[in-house]
Each structure stands twice: as C-alpha cells, then as structure tokens.
Structure 1
Amino acid sequence: MTSPEGGTKRDLVRRHVEDMIGAGLSPHERLPTERELAETLEVNRQTVRGALDELEREGVVYRLQGAGTFVSEARISKSFELTSFSEDMRARNMRPGSQSIDLQVGAAGQTVGYALGLSPREDVVRVRRVRTADDIPICLEESTFAAASVPGLEGGIEGDSLYDDIRQRFGLVAVRADQEIHAVVLDEEQAAALQTPPFSPAFLVRRTTYDARSRPIEYAESVYRGDRYSYQLSITRP
C-alpha cells in the first residue's frame, strides 16, 4: 500500500525519521518509540519496525535493547578515488587537521623497502599523524617516502595536505595507488589516540602510491575508526 505523498508507508516512516534528524536531533539522542511513531503517522508498528531496520542497516540510527532507538554519529563516506584525507574532509564541508605530527628518518625495512623499490637499509622519512575532522580524531596515518625524494621533509609539513606539500616542494604527484583494506580492532594505544574504546572496530588501509610513470612514491598505513568512517563503492555487472 502506498502513502498519499507517494511511495510506500515504510518510505513515509523513513522520510519522517530522516526529517526529524535533519531538523536538529543530535547524535545519541533518542527517537520516539515505535508506538509513538505508528500513532503519529497512522501506520502499524510492523511498518515502523521495518523502516527502522533499514535505517539501522544504513547506520542512520542504532538500537539498544530496552532503551530505544537513537541517532547514530554521522559517518564519513569514502569513495574509491585517490584523494588525500584533507581533500575528503573539505569535500564534505569538514575542517581537516592533525592533533599530533611525528616525523622521523630511519631505515626502510623489508615491507616499506619492497613497496618503494628500495634496499631495506635505505633511509626513508616516516610521517605519523592523528588526522581529525572538525577536531574529532578519525584516523591514525603513517606515510613513508624515500628520504632522497623528499629532502627536508623531516623538518615539517607545510600546510594541512601532505599531498599538496610534496607536489609543490618536491614535484611528487600521486596519480594512482594500489590499496588493501582489512577489518581490524583498535589496540589500547590506538584507541587512546582516536578517543574511542579499546577493541573498537576499525579499517586498516595499506596503500602504495605511484606517479604518472608508475614509480612508487609513497607507502602508507592508515587506521580509521569504524564508527566514523565507511567506504562507498559503485559496481556494475560484467
């Protein structure tokens, strides 16, 4: 059965809840009960429950048994395009930043050396940062470059965007990347840095970035909070 406004009655419930959230309900604020929503919209509770099930699967709301349905924290959705963290946040009208920056020079080691085509003994510059969006910690990021390709980077990053800095100062332009994504949980140190409980779900992203000539210029490992970050894919049938 359809609602007078078009669409199903379940769509009507969805729109009503989404409008309530858009009108100013804060994250973790409780929604009206299923009974109250059913009475307000003149639908049955099964219809309300079905709409809330959909919204919960999409991360819009969450439920606590015996307590009710609550507004979820907004997630930052990342599409599969090669963009920097700063570019991602600005595209979503959020302010990118870093809570801490640690730059060190040391031996590449086996993993980084292999990714960058270096001897394990060659020097690299490691840039470790806690990345934030509107001052909320989102990601632990470690980017590594061959020291010879970024002379002086260990002295500090100029601006918020590392990709902008290495392009302007060293002529390194990221064109494509090979990337792996793994589901992990945060250890206690990572959780403290991201201001979230230990053993919370997270994404571990390993990425090797290449220039236009397919030369590796960066190896990066980033850990994203699972409750504040998601990946969006567009797929087609062959």
Structure 2
Amino acid sequence: MEEGMTGYRRVLAHLREDVLGVLEPGDGLPPERELAARFGVARMTVRRALDELATEGLIDRLVGVGTFVAYPKRSIHVQLTSYTEEMTRRGMIPTATVLDFGAVAASDHVARQLRLEPGDPVVRYRRLFYADGEPMSVDENFLVPQHVPGMARAAPPSSLYRYLSEEYGLVIEWGEDTIEATSATPSLARLLTIDARDPLLKIERRAYVGRVVVDFSVSYYRADRYRLSVPLQRPRRPQGHRPVLRRR
C-alpha cells in the first residue's frame, strides 16, 4: 500500500480533477474506505486529501451524511445596494417571488429597530430571491407607513430601493448591519431547497435617510452559495498629526 507524501499528492490530484472536471455541484463522493481501496492508500491519507479540498472550498463534508462537491459561492460585498442592483452588477439574472406584501403589526423586535411601539402598523415586504434561476435568499423588509404613504395598497415594487427613491424621494444614505450564522427552519429550508438546520447567513440591516431609520430588513442567505466580503480600511490620522521619530 502506497503511503507518504507521494501517495497523498496522487490522491489529492485525482480527487481535485474529479471535483473540478467530472462531478457536478451537489454530487456525492465515495466513502473514505472506498477511496482508500481505489487508490491503494490508508484512509488517513484519503482523509488528509479530503481535508485539503474542504479547506479550498471545493467540497463540503457533512458529519454523518457524506462528502459532496461544493456549489460555487457568491461573494456578498456589504454595501447599500438592493439585491436586484447587486446581482445585476455581477452579471447575473435576478428574479424574485413575492411571499407577502402589506400592512402588519410590528413585533417587539421590529418595533425596536424602527423606533416604534409594539403593535404599530408597518409595511412588510417578504420575498424569495433567485440568481440565474437558483434560490439564494429569503428577505423581509419592514417600513414605517408614514414614510411611504399608500405603499401597502400599491403593487409590490420590483426593486425596493429604486422604488423608494423614485416614488418618495427617499435615497438610502447609510446603514448598520448585524451579521450572524444561524440554521434553517423547516419553512426557510423548503423555500431555499435545502435541509432543515442547514447553515444560513443572517443579516439584519437598518437603512437610514439622514438620521431616520426608513427600512429594517432581515435576510437569510444560503451558506453553501454565499460568502461575505467586508472591505476594511485603517482610520486616517487626525489632520496635523505627525509621527514622532525617535533616535536609536
């Protein structure tokens, strides 16, 4: 039985070739014992090669379920654009299914985010988003009716931010995001065609015009299709500040 670095590299090269050129996203790989017999190596060597492919993001290893070819992940760049604007910018075809649209009573959590009282009316807009025909996220927006009079009685807009700008002159200027990992509820799993308790990326956003919260949203992204990209920048030195040069 071939062991050592040579065997590991051979197994890794063959598996990478299968994942990138033969198998399709979502296809399962054989169990470790079958791969070990196929390549004539120890299971430890196969496991090491699979760990490397998982680190590269080429496969997903689900404990107790199996190993699968990973779907390519779309980067989410945190910026104030609507889903339609973001997917169009990336050259993808965005579509959406409206799940719910109209006036509802604000929950305690929504009321706190919009600075309202629990039970106050809000406009809720819930959608299932697709990119190139694949379900990607479930988004729920909440707006204060006083800021968007008559919106709850109109047809659901195709692009929310553009609609707010064109119909009400509300141009979203800045926002605050809260990002966390969560798992899919049975209802979210059905919409996103995944299994219950599969990982999701949850983003809550308060979007502002000036100092007024105009929109509060909760988005659930498929973790197997998305990754988060956050640009970072060091703060500028205060004007007039000069570094102190010390002699050695």
> In structure 2, do the counterparts of structure 1 residues 149 and 90 end up closer, same or farther at CA, with 3 Å as the change threshold?
same
Of 105, 108, 114, the match for 2:106: 108
- Distance change (3 Å), C-alpha of 1:22 and 1:111: same
CA contact (8 A) 2:99 2:126 kept: yes
Q: Does 1:226 align with 2:223?
A: yes
Q: Which residue does the alignment assign to 1:190?
A: 188
Report the counterpart of residue 156 of structure 2 in structure 1: 157
1:137-188 CA-to-partner distances (Å, cap 9, x unmatched) read 11111101111211232222233x2111111111111121111111111111
Calculate the TM-score normalised by the size of structure 2: 0.71
CA RMSD of aligned residues (A): 3.6
Change (3 A) 1:235 1:49: farther
The alignment-based identity, stated in percent, is 33
CA distance in structure 2 between the aligned counterparts of 1:232 and 1:201, rounded to whole angstroms: 18
Q: CA deviation at 1:233?
A: 2.7
Alpha-carbon contact 1:34-1:49 (below 8 Å) kept: no
Q: Which amino acid aligns with 2:155?
A: G
Instruction: Name the structure 2 match of 1:85.
Output: 83
Q: Deviations over 1:115-138 (max 9, x none)?
A: 223333432100011111112111
| 2:202 counterpart of 1:177 | no
Alignment match, 1:5: none
Per-residue deviation, residues 166-219 of structure 1 (Å, max 9, x unmatched): 1111111112111111111111111111111111111121110112x2221101
Structure-2 change in CA distance of 1:207 and 1:127 (3 Å): same
What letter matches 1:215 in structure 2? Answer: V
> Is 1:216 aligned to residue 210 of structure 2?
no
User: AA paired with 2:157?
Assistant: E
Give 3-state SS (helix, strand or coil) of 2:96's partner.
Answer: strand
8 Å contact 1:157–1:165 — kept in the other structure?
no
Larger Rg: 2
Give 5+ residue unaligned stretches, structure 2.
1-8, 30-34, 236-248
What TM-score do you get using the length of structure 1 for normalisation? 0.74
SS at match of 1:174: coil
Quick one: distance in 2 between partners of 1:47 and 1:91? Answer: 43
Q: Unaligned stretches of 5+ in structure 1?
A: 1-9, 38-45
Cα distance in structure 2, aligned partners of 1:179 and 1:214: 15
